[in-house]
Structure 1
Amino acid sequence: MLDRVLGLVSLVPFAIGSMAAPAAAPSSVDFEFQDPAIVESSGLVVQGGLFLTTNDSGDGGRVFVVDGTGRTVGTTSWEPEPEDVEALAPAEPGFVWVGDIGDNSAARESVTVLRVPYGRTAQEVEPASYTLVYPDHAHDAETLLAHPRTGQLFVVSKNVFGGTVYAAPRTLSESEPNRLREVADQVKGVATDGSFFPDGRHYVLRDYVDATVYTFPGHEPIDSFRLPAQRQGEGIAVDERDAVHVSTEGQFTQVRSVQLPPKLQAAMQPERPEQPATTPPSEVEGAQADEPVWPWLLLGAVGAGFVLLILRKLTRHGAAS
């Protein structure tokens, strides 16, 4: 109940702001979830053409594997039951990170991430579990990021006045708590999910209304774009082809592909080094402009004629003597 109340309260400023907000970015329907057990899709990952999601708090430990038609083709479940699963992040092929990081009352001494296998099958597993501890105090969070090249995990806190990005150690310990480190603050406040782009130089955070793209590792906002209207949007994922997908809570809800604004796409392109300008020889300092060739040809012809004339006279004088 507290989760619902806080969710509704946090929606108030977005509802007011949306009255004057620009139109949503163009989007199209990927599919609708067909599984009646998917009732509160709270995280989203897209890998190898498969869509992975998990229910919000209240469900057991479970990941759904969904194909491009919306049909559930596999599930992975585990014990013990998590406290508040809120997010997913991609791991290596065949695995996904599950973020048991929700904490509406900001009272948990630690949170947990699990490395869960998945596939086109129903399976029960004992996933590797890692304890994370914040450097200051407890935070509510619904966003787990995994860098596509290093695999490092990041947790983004959920706060109306601005979120904070916390980095986990690059190598996690199963036996000891892993202390998080603050690396950026004042990112999107009520962040409900996020995802890195494949280039590893950008990531996106969403709330219930729009999404913002940030640089990495600078964590500077580039631009925001409006998301399609959803019941309670809590999922966003970027696939291997840079396509952005969003999901929402509710039974039989849609997963949609969202087109980034062209201006934002252009801003995300890598900067190309400027090519040095080539200067014409006539403009190089100390160089002389090209001179016409015909005077030299004329002078050569006159000289050759003079030499022939001298030789002819010498030849005649020799013959006379």
Structure 2
Amino acid sequence: MPDRLRGPLVALALAAPFAVGLAAHAAGGDDAEVVLTFADPEILESSGLVAADGLLLTTNDSGDSGRVFAVGPEGRTVGVTTWADEPTDVEALAPAGPGQVWVGDIGDNPGSRDSVSVARVPVGRGAIDARTDAAGATYELVYPGGARDAETLLSHPRTGRLYVASKSFFGGALYEAPARLDPAAPNELREVGGVLPIATDGAFWPDGRHLVVRGYADAVVYAWPSLAEVGDLELPDQQQGEGIAVTDDGRVLVSTEGQFTDVLEVALPDDVARAVAPEPSPEPSAAAAPPGQPEQPEAEPVDRAQDESLRTVPLAWLLGALTAVVLATLLLARAVRRR
């Protein structure tokens, strides 16, 4: 690339998210209600959002030290976790089990980082210093084929596996981390499918059957693991919306950069609400074993193809036997006539 073009292109890449954010602010929907307003003046650029343990957890965008804020229902900060002094570009949070979150130091606007990182840190009420805590171990992630910019980190609620969605004008990609992260070596990500362009955050529903990935103006709900699109969500006007979370009861919350900003609940379209509704629990069997007696083991499932062969093989034998009898009869009759 000629040197005279390199500077303008990098500047364009850095400025593009802000331009898109301004356009989203002018074009977003209004079907949302305020859940709370961040009262802490230290929350300047809410980038990631997690709803857990009755709290909202958020982190500032790049430029801050490594901090996670725990915010109570009234909008006041009730706890701060310090996990790093000088992270590179923090952009995302994801649930990591009771009392913990994953922090994603995954931002890379120029696309120049050899690797990015995630850290699992404790969160909750009060001041927590995780810089020397074993739970604050950092894991290095590398993309296949080179650097990617990303602001979206997700964790599957059933498996705990981590996913990163890249941020690109030409369409984002979802990458899967190894099932077990190695703290001593780079962990290679694997691409598993495509997501919307300019992804700024994402989250799974509690049952793990669906996920949502947001941009500045809208969000897309996907089925998991097919990544088939279930529906779109038009997001409310926000200064620069970069956070999204799904609560334990399936509500969708969004946050934005800016001081003293609102966290909003987004209404789901009827078709999306029906799709993401939890599956009904199976009804107890009417033929349960009497008290004091062990339940009978379930029958081994039979493969459908195998079951089909079990029904068709005896019929094939019967037809073969009838054919052999008919041929034998014809040959015998012909032999009799020749005599």
Q: TM-score range by the shorter chain?
A: 0.7 to 0.9
Match of 2:240 among 214, 232, 242: 232
Question: Which position in structure 2 is the counterpart of 1:66?
Answer: 71
Give, in angstroms, the shift of residue 14 of structure 1: 5.2
List aligned pairs for 1:75-114, cutoff 5 A. Answer: 75-114=80-119
Give, in angstroms, the shift of residue 66 of structure 1: 0.3
Question: Which position in structure 2 is the counterpart of 1:154?
Answer: 163
Structure 2 unaligned runs (5+)? 1-9, 281-339
Give, in angstroms, the shift of residue 80 of structure 1: 3.9
Are 2:69 and 1:54 equivalent residues in the alignment?
A: no
Give, in angstroms, the shift of residue 148 of structure 1: 0.3
Aligned equivalents of 1:74, 1:67: Cα separation in 2? 9
Residue-by-residue CA offset, 1:260-291 (whole Å, 9 max, x unaligned): 1112112334789xxxxxxxxxxxxxxxxxxx
Partner SS, residue 106 of structure 1: coil
Contact 2:255 2:264 in 1 (8 A): yes
Contact 2:210 2:222 in 1 (8 A): yes
Give, in angstroms, the shift of residue 49 of structure 1: 1.1
Give, in angstroms, the shift of residue 78 of structure 1: 2.5
Aligned equivalents of 2:179, 2:40: Cα separation in 1? 36
Q: 1:139 to 1:202 in 2, by over 3 A?
A: same
Aligned equivalents of 2:14, 2:198: Cα separation in 1? 14
Aligned equivalents of 2:80, 2:24: Cα separation in 1? 34
Contact 1:25 1:260 in 2 (8 A): no
Q: 1:206 is matched by which residue type in structure 2?
A: R
Q: Which shifted more, 260-269 or 38-47?
A: 260-269
Q: 1:89 to 1:149 in 2, by over 3 A?
A: same
CA RMSD of aligned residues (A): 2.0
Give, in angstroms, the shift of residue 11 of structure 1: 4.2
Q: 1:11 to 1:230 in 2, by over 3 A?
A: closer
Give, in angstroms, the shift of residue 192 of structure 1: 0.5
Question: Which position in structure 2 is the counterpart of 1:32?
Answer: 37
List aligned pairs for 1:1-321, cutoff 5 A. Answer: 5-11=15-21, 18=27, 24=29, 26-126=31-131, 127-185=136-194, 187-269=195-277
Residue-by-residue CA offset, 1:110-139 (whole Å, 9 max, x unaligned): 000000101101121121100001011100
Contact 1:25 1:261 in 2 (8 A): no
Partner SS, residue 17 of structure 2: helix
Residue-by-residue CA offset, 1:24-72 (whole Å, 9 max, x unaligned): 3632111110000000000000001100000000000000000010000
More helix by share: 2
Give, in angstroms, the shift of residue 183 of structure 1: 0.5
Partner SS, residue 273 of structure 2: helix
Partner SS, residue 274 of structure 2: helix
Larger CA Rg, structure 1 vs 2: 1
Q: 1:226 is matched by which residue type in structure 2?
A: E
Aligned equivalents of 1:53, 1:96: Cα separation in 2? 10
Aligned equivalents of 1:161, 1:10: Cα separation in 2? 14
Aligned equivalents of 1:101, 1:165: Cα separation in 2? 13
Aligned equivalents of 2:278, 2:201: Cα separation in 1? 25
Identity %: 54
- TM-score, normalisation: structure 2: 0.75
Partner SS, residue 221 of structure 2: strand
Contact 1:162 1:189 in 2 (8 A): yes
The alignment of Structure 1 onto Structure 2 pairs a total of residues equal to 266
Aligned equivalents of 1:124, 1:252: Cα separation in 2? 25
Question: Which position in structure 1 is the counterpart of 2:337?
Answer: none
Q: 1:270 to 1:13 in 2, by over 3 A?
A: same
